[in-house]
Amino acid sequence: MSMLKNKVALLTGAARRIGAATARTLHTAGATVVIHYRHSAAEAEILQAELNAARPASCFLVQGDLLDISVMPTLIAQTLEQAGRLDILVNNASSFYPTPLATVTEQQFDDLIGTNLKAPLFMAQAAAPHLQASNGCMINIVDIHGMRPLQGYAAYCIAKAGLLMLTQVLARELGPNVRVNGVAPGAILWPEMTENHAMHTEILAKTALKREGNPDDIARTVLFLVRDADYITGQVIPVDGGRLLNH
């Protein structure tokens, strides 16, 4: 626990699902966690109560719509005000839904690029001086479909491909003081929207391990990159059960 003691991690979109699992894992490793949410106030408050019951004053909340980049400096300022410093930024917040070429709209494109690419860029901009001061690190939650296209999800795939490149760009720009890496989930936690369910069985059949992963698989990989990977930067680790082997 000592390695992340007195370290502060800000995680976007972390009230639920993979973000919440990652917050729990970093917290268990000793970090103070700041959970950002947009609409999921009830889940965020439940998670905060759980973590603060385990260790008092070790979890704080910040709220904002990441499509509005003017909120980024405010989120960082609120993090510093509540937790005192910033060592780790996890860009986890994401939108995911199909955008077939025949029907994709500009609003859908702007939303998917905004949450998956634009928001991490401007969060990084706002956080960078503080991460540099603490010799901190940044983790971007990418997607294997930023590496290989998913039929009917053009805007999402483009956005995640951009996030992969942003991870490399930031590693160059923020080195040597800040390490920047990514994790690319495969079939980990299936999105709740019904339009995303159709390919579930087909995609699982194409993984080498023939099964779905779980959020803790991602959370443990984030922890590795944060705590145990002092000489790794600019890399994106697929956590996909071998899905990329059989695209």
The token pair at 181 is 């890496």
From the list 66, 55, 111, the residue with the least C-alpha distance to 89 is 66
Rounded CA-CA distance 56/44 in Å is 16
Which residue is catalytic, options 97, 153, 156, 231?
A: 156
Q: Is 97 a catalytic residue?
A: no
Any long-range contacts for 47-51 (C-beta under 8 Å, 24+ apart)?
Answer: 47/14, 47/15, 47/20, 47/23, 51/23, 51/24, 51/27
HSE, side-chain direction, 13 A CA sphere, residue 162? 16
H helices of the chain, in order, are 17-28, 41-54, 72-83, 106-113, 119-133, 154-174, 200-205, 215-227
Q: Strand, coil or helix: what is 137?
A: strand
Q: Is the separation of the CB atoms in 95 and 115 below 8 Å?
A: yes
The token pair at 147 is 């590496």
Strand 137-141, strand 88-91: pairing: parallel
What is the set of active-site residues?
A: 156
